[in-house]
Amino acid sequence: MESFDVIVVGAGIVGLATAYHAQKSGARVLVLDKGATGYEASSRATGYLSLRGETPEECALAQVAEKLWDELDEELGYPTEWTQKGRLWAAIDDGELAELKATFQSFQATDIGFEFIDAKACRDLIPALTDKTLGGIYTPRAGHANPQRTTQAFAWAFLDRGGEIREHTPVLSVLEKGGAVHGVRTTRGDIHAGTVVLCAASHTTKLLEPLGIVFPLAPVRLEAFVTAPLPPLFEEAFIAHGLAVRQTRRGNIHVNGGPFEWIDVDVTGEPAKPTTPLVRNIAQRLVEVFPVLRKAQMLRSWAGIVDITPDTMTLIHSFDTPRGLVAASASGHGFGMAPAMGVAIADLALQGRTELPIGDLTLDRFASLPGDWRRAWNWQAGNINT
């Protein structure tokens, strides 16, 4: 039987970041994916590093990620299009302004340095903003990058160090005996490894069920679109009016947000990712925020599947039983967090412990989660926007 030190299941950004760091530390690592590299949640990412003021438990790890992002191009050797020009979260009507002020109160509990700025300051930052802008929360920290290019950068950097990625190789089960894992069963046979890391979204949940482990994730379908490239308008990570909007290095306006649909996924094939007429409504909101985009052209829309934990926060867990098993999900925060998650998960896989601040992010917080939590949350397949 083929043998590796570590098998990582899932060639998304979190799995690849983990594989990169483990390989760099000297382990022989194999990455397996049921489909293509960076083709699921990693292809739907907005591309933001948020410092997670909304979820203080993730804040410390996000700040580790922020430092790593600064050096990521150099570390990996491939361009990620990292742009650190801060984040603006603006309000364009009274309801949004009231909500934003409440949000700001909670942000002040963090040490990130958020500032509430007035309408003029918002429009000084982004002159293309509507004159209806009322104010916003600004931080000079936070940033954005190209999700596809970053995921591929991790993949290439991992290959450069001698790692191996096998695409279109679904993992059917984790092999376990006597309280320890010893590999995985794939559609192309068994592969041995003393350590198995699962970064495979809902696939992880299903692989852990036979081991009696509840790894709570709910998949959700979300939509996005880009415009044709435009001259530079702004560089900040921007949120307003229920949308996340960034301008890519190439000049496209990338926008997402709005109603989403809870779904179920099958573990062997690529899930369907249909889009809906929702793009018409997103376009309306985008033009309301940036009237200057009226004659910009919608170029392509797409949908992606993202896996959400019950509290929407990152989940990283190293298991005592079975030994040699680590599982993680970034709950839609993976793009920004991946550089730090990769280090933390590789540490757990190789040494069983990490110095990185993940104490609040383990599975322990869900010890009393009701078995029917998806029903209780209204997050079962078929529900929209609940």
Partner 1 sequence: MTSSSVRRIAVVGASDLGCSFALAARQAGHDVTLVDEHPQSLKQMSLDAPYFYGAAIPAAVLNENAIAQVVLESNPEIFECFEAEVDVRVGTIAWGAFRNAPNSAHIGTPKLGLVSQDSNKLLEHDVLVLATGARDFVPSFAGWDLPGVFGVKAGLALLDIYQCYEGKRTLVLGTSPEAVKFTRSALAAGVEIVGMVEPTQHFAAGRLAADEIAGLGVPVLYGRIITAAEGKTAVNGAQLVPTNGSGTVEGLDCDTICIAIGRLPNIELPAAMGCQLRFDASVGSWLPETDAGGMTSAAGVYWLSRFTGGEEQVQAILASIGGDTVAPAAPAESVARADYLQLWVDTLFQTGGSNVMLCQCEDVTRGAFLGLEPPRYLDGQLRHPQTPVTGRCGVPRIHQDQMKRMTRVGMGHCQGKRCRDEAALLLSTRFGIGLESIQPGSYRFPVRPLDLDLIAAGDETPEMRENWLYWPAAPENL
Of 200 and 303, which CB lies nearer to partner 1 in the complex structure? 303
Q: Mark 75-114 with x for binding to partner 1 (rule: CB under 8 A) and - for no binding.
A: --xxx-x---------------------------------
Q: Is 380 in the site for partner 1 (CB under 8 A)?
A: no
Binding test (CB under 8 A) with partner 1, winner from 69, 154, 260, 335: 260
Cβ-based nearer residue to partner 1, 49 or 303: 303
> Is residue 373 within 8 Å of residue 384, measured between CB atoms?
no
Question: Per CB under 8 A, does 190 bind partner 1?
Answer: no
Q: Which stretch binds partner 1 (CB under 8 A): 14-22, 71-79, 196-204, 356-364?
A: 71-79
Stretch that binds partner 1, among 56-64, 200-208, 243-251, 340-348 (CB under 8 A): 243-251
Contacts with partner 1 by CB under 8 A: the residue count is 76
Q: Write the DSSP symbol of residue 386.
A: -
Binds partner 1 by CB under 8 A, chosen from 286, 326, 338, 343: 286
Q: Are 125 and 81 in contact (CB under 8 A)?
A: no
**304: contact with partner 1 by CB under 8 A:** no
Cα dihedral 89/54/145/277 (nearest 10)? -70
Q: Where would I find the beta strands (DSSP E) of 27-179?
A: 29-32, 48-49, 87-91, 115-118, 135-139, 143-144, 164-166, 171-177
Rounded to a whole number of angstroms, the minimum distance from the CB of residue 136 to partner 1 is 14
By CB under 8 A, residue 231 contacts partner 1: no
Site for partner 1 in 130-159 (CB under 8 A): 148-149, 152, 156, 159
Residues in 4-63 that interact with partner 1 by CB under 8 A: 36-39
Indicate the residue among 351 and 385 with the shorter CB distance to partner 1. 385
User: Which residues within the stretch 163-182 sit at the binding site for partner 1 (CB under 8 A)?
Assistant: 164-169
Residue 301 binds partner 1, judged by CB under 8 A: yes
Structure tokens at 297: 């052209």
Contacts of 237 (CB under 8 A, 6+ apart): 48, 49, 50, 85, 86, 87, 88, 142, 143, 144, 244, 246
Distance (Å, whole) CA 283 – CA 17 = 34
Distances (CA, A) of 324 to 70, 190, 192, 381: 32, 17, 12, 32
- For the bound state, the minimum distance from the C-beta of residue 62 to partner 1, rounded and expressed in Å, comes to 15
Question: Mask of contacts with partner 1, 341-370, x by CB under 8 A?
Answer: ------------------------------
Min CB(323)–partner 1 separation in Å:
28
Among the candidate windows 61-69, 119-127, 177-185, 222-230, which touches partner 1 by CB under 8 A?
222-230
* Residue 44 contacts residue 222 (beta carbons within 8 Å): yes
Nearer to partner 1, 131 or 320 (CB): 131
Whole-number Å distance between alpha carbons of 194 and 363? 22
Residue 375 binds to partner 1 (criterion: CB under 8 A): no
Q: What single-letter amino acid sits at 70?
A: D
DSSP classification of residue 323: B
Among 16, 220, 338, 350, binds partner 1 (CB under 8 A): 220
List 244, 316, 338, 346, residue binding partner 1 (CB under 8 A): 244
Termini Cα distance of the chain: 46
Asked whether the beta carbons of 337 and 58 are under 8 A apart, the reply is yes
Taking a C-beta distance cutoff of 8 angstroms, is the pair 155, 96 a contact?
no
Work out whether the CA dihedral 52, 344, 15, 170 comes out positive or negative. negative
